[in-house]
Chain A
Amino acid sequence: KNQVEQSPQSLIILEGKNCTLQCNYTVSPFSNLRWYKQDTGRGPVSLTIMTFSENTKSNGRYTATLDADTKQSSLHITASQLSDSASYICVVSAASGTYKYIFGTGTRLKVLA
């Protein structure tokens, strides 16, 4: 069964600290993996996309990694800011060419001053 699991469910950190969010998937055949940021009451916004051949990709203070062998991805946030408080959703696309996007339940991050 295609599944995406994220951990932790929630996380609280102090402003300026770093954190890492995890995403494990059992989607096959794999096409790509995206990390989205969703502010409360808003729609998700894409942060990064990882394809099979990519190990690391950065977008400002966000760095995503992908290990296609172990089917794991992480999102590292450096020097967190209050505006980073949001839910972060991992989405894996299946390569079958249909509509299949498999969503994780998200990690809710709270950054405190």
Chain B
Amino acid sequence: DGGITQSPKYLFRKEGQNVTLSCEQNLNHDAMYWYRQDPGQGLRLIYYSQIVNDFQKGDIAEGYSVSREKKESFPLTVTSAQKNPTAFYLCASSIGRGGNEQFFGPGTRLTVL
């Protein structure tokens, strides 16, 4: 069953804690992305990766970090430096570079207590 999965679905974090959001895909896609979605705003790109062991900052990378050690996995860490981390986080993947269809995971809702 091919697809892209995210875990956990809901995540609660205390201020000052780092948390890691998981994203896995078995679509054999080279490119993976992390987006943040806030009410009334379009999806904003946090980080993207076009190949293993390489990733680039998106428009709102401050306070976030990623790794891409395996083609299938692209975890996102929300650090304590992110001032307003409460949001819905979406991971996506695509076959290659821009223009190809992005397939999205089900999302993780992060709430800071």
Contact = CB atoms under 8 A, between A and B. Distances in A.
A and B: bona fide binding partners: yes
Interface in A15-51: 31-32, 34, 36, 41-46, 49
Interface in B57-113: 58, 88, 90, 92, 97-99, 101-107, 109
A103 B42 contact: yes
Max count, chain A CB within 10 A of own CB: residue among B48, B99, B105, B106: B99
B104 A99 contact: no
B42 A31 contact: no
A31 B58 CA distance: 20
Contacts of B109: 41
B11 interface: no
Contacts of A42: 106-107
B11 to A, nearest CB: 14
Contacts of B43: 89, 103
Contacts, number: 62
Contacts of A106: 42
B18 interface: no
B101 A99 contact: no
B42 to A, nearest CB: 4
B101 A101 contact: no
Contact of A31 (B92, B98, B106): B98
Interface of A: 4, 9, 31-32, 34, 36, 41-46, 49, 89, 91, 93-106
19 contacts: A31-B99, A41-B109, A43-B104, A43-B107, A44-B90, A44-B104, A45-B104, A89-B42, A91-B102, A93-B99, A94-B98, A95-B99, A99-B45, A99-B98, A100-B98, A101-B45, A103-B44, A104-B42, A105-B40
